[in-house]
Structure 1
């Protein structure tokens, strides 16, 4: 199939594009500037240039690629400062709203038959009920103010993609990425913070995280593109775990001392209200649907093994 990947030079794109070309697909990469042409060519894709926030440019790029499938992997997430969570996600929020709308408009004009989009299943589910959520469970209906814009942008993306009746809209709610090119790659700032005991367990550490290795997420994306059905899929590993469990275990893997424990009010001062939510209230996600319907099995079934690779 002819596939256009928007966001081909990010951590996911670098894993996804070679897998798509290796599976025999003809891949086009939508890039923002000519300086990225060499990167995308090395990955095996044909570059087309467009700023995702420029609707006319996006329409021209999609028209040039004439794809059967569009894969929306546009993000702009760098270092996440939990004290200023809304600022950390502001650029990505815009891509999830304006960028999504622009890509969908261009895809409709080009007659694209399938539209696959990156969503977030790591930080977005409602914070009540059981510890592990399925695709049928609602995203947080009452997020705290610093997290509200991010969750609103995710909801906009999902509603727009799933509401596009003219194409097969597929939404992939990825867990927290780790592996090459991610914020939890070997040597990353986040892992160094854990090694230096600057990443404490806040409160009871009861927030449940679902991880996924970036390579496994890319494999799931190929499976969804090739034979997924309209709808939502959680793309996470088999082992959702509370912070009080995974953080000390990861510290041990890094040959670091156990993380400090601090009460919620101290965590709020140091990491802001969003940091406290991530540590104490988060809900994990189930991958049962993706395994059942996509025939996908994460090679790194648990972060316990994946982080050691």
Structure 2
């Protein structure tokens, strides 16, 4: 299939693009500028330079495609892009894989696609676009819900790795809050495989949580990162107010959610098999670990 892909040069897109090509699809990547166009061409895709919030451009590109994966999701973009894609694909039965987010479900020790929604303020906007995709007639709309995405030294785990250190003879790594909260996690390459499976086999109106089943606490992650960095003081908790002062109130609220998920539906319905290294391993000896001489 020829797939229209947004966000192809981003963190997740940089894994989804090669996965699509490896599975035999061709890709038209909607990118913002010539530099990004060169990057996707070198990766094997066709570049379409333009604005994801240009409704006419998006509708035309969607109509000319066999399906769409939308990774460059944001409040302003989705308000234009989602209706435009649905208009372009109308009546075709073609797949449209949209991006959600695990924070939508709030805190929970066994989050599934059926869990009640309780999003933090930072992501409360997501519901409108998701409802349009899941309720669309004549389009095979699905939503992939990434948990905390990690891998290749990128993403939110760097908020732990690069957190401030305390002063003194035994410096310690500052946590996000008290560190008792769990994070549902997924390696970016495993998540890319899920996007392609949802494109190829996802049922219309379905949501698929991308979670590996590895749900460490932030304290556990911080302790591993501190060990990797050789910090004799280990970790130290912060108040929510202290964390908010350095990373913002909205992100603090989201990252203090206590979330655990296993991604069972994607495994059962789509045959998804996440097998990337755990985030703790990545922090200790993998892509986030300090370079060893």
Category of TM-score, reference length = shorter chain? 0.7 to 0.9
In structure 1, the partner of 2:15 is: 15
In structure 1, the partner of 2:117 is: 139
* In structure 2, distance between residues paired with 1:54 and 1:8: 17
* Structure 2 residue 117 is the aligned partner of structure 1 residue 119: no
Contact 2:110 2:261 in 1 (8 A): yes
In structure 1, the partner of 2:86 is: 104
In structure 1, the partner of 2:207 is: 232
Name structure 1 gaps, 5 residues minimum: 76-91
Moved more, 217-226 or 274-283: 274-283
* Structure 2 residue 2 is the aligned partner of structure 1 residue 26: no
Name structure 2 gaps, 5 residues minimum: 167-171, 287-293
In structure 2, the partner of 1:61 is: 61
* In structure 2, distance between residues paired with 1:292 and 1:173: 16
In structure 2, the partner of 1:297 is: 273
TM-aligned CA distance change 1:72 to 1:279, over 3 Å: closer
TM-aligned CA distance change 1:48 to 1:268, over 3 Å: closer
Moved more, 285-294 or 240-249: 240-249
Structure 1 residue 233, shift from structure 2 partner: 0.6
**1:101-250 maps to which residues of 2 (within 5 A)?**
101-108=83-90, 111=92, 113-121=94-102, 123-127=103-107, 130-140=108-118, 143=119, 147-148=120-121, 150-180=122-152, 182-184=154-156, 188=158, 191-193=161-163, 197=172, 199-203=174-178, 205-230=179-204, 231-250=206-225
TM-aligned CA distance change 1:74 to 1:275, over 3 Å: closer
* In structure 2, distance between residues paired with 1:219 and 1:40: 19
Structure 1 residue 119, shift from structure 2 partner: 1.1
Q: Secondary structure, in 3 states, of the residue corresponding to 2:128?
A: helix
Query: TM-score w.r.t. structure 1 length?
Result: 0.80
Structure 1 residue 165, shift from structure 2 partner: 1.9
* Structure 2 residue 262 is the aligned partner of structure 1 residue 286: yes
Larger helix proportion of the pair = 1
In structure 2, the partner of 1:84 is: none
* In structure 2, distance between residues paired with 1:226 and 1:179: 24
* Structure 2 residue 228 is the aligned partner of structure 1 residue 253: yes
TM-aligned CA distance change 1:259 to 1:58, over 3 Å: same
* In structure 2, distance between residues paired with 1:279 and 1:23: 34
Q: Deviation string for 1:182-210 (max 9, x for gaps)?
A: 3257xx5652226774532523x332211
Q: Deviation string for 1:229-284 (max 9, x for gaps)?
A: 23011101121122233322333234334221234454455555445534544323
* In structure 1, distance between residues paired with 2:66 and 2:265: 25
* In structure 2, distance between residues paired with 1:199 and 1:96: 35
Query: TM-score w.r.t. structure 2 length?
Result: 0.84
Structure 1 residue 180, shift from structure 2 partner: 2.6
RMSD: 2.6
Structure 1 residue 60, shift from structure 2 partner: 3.0
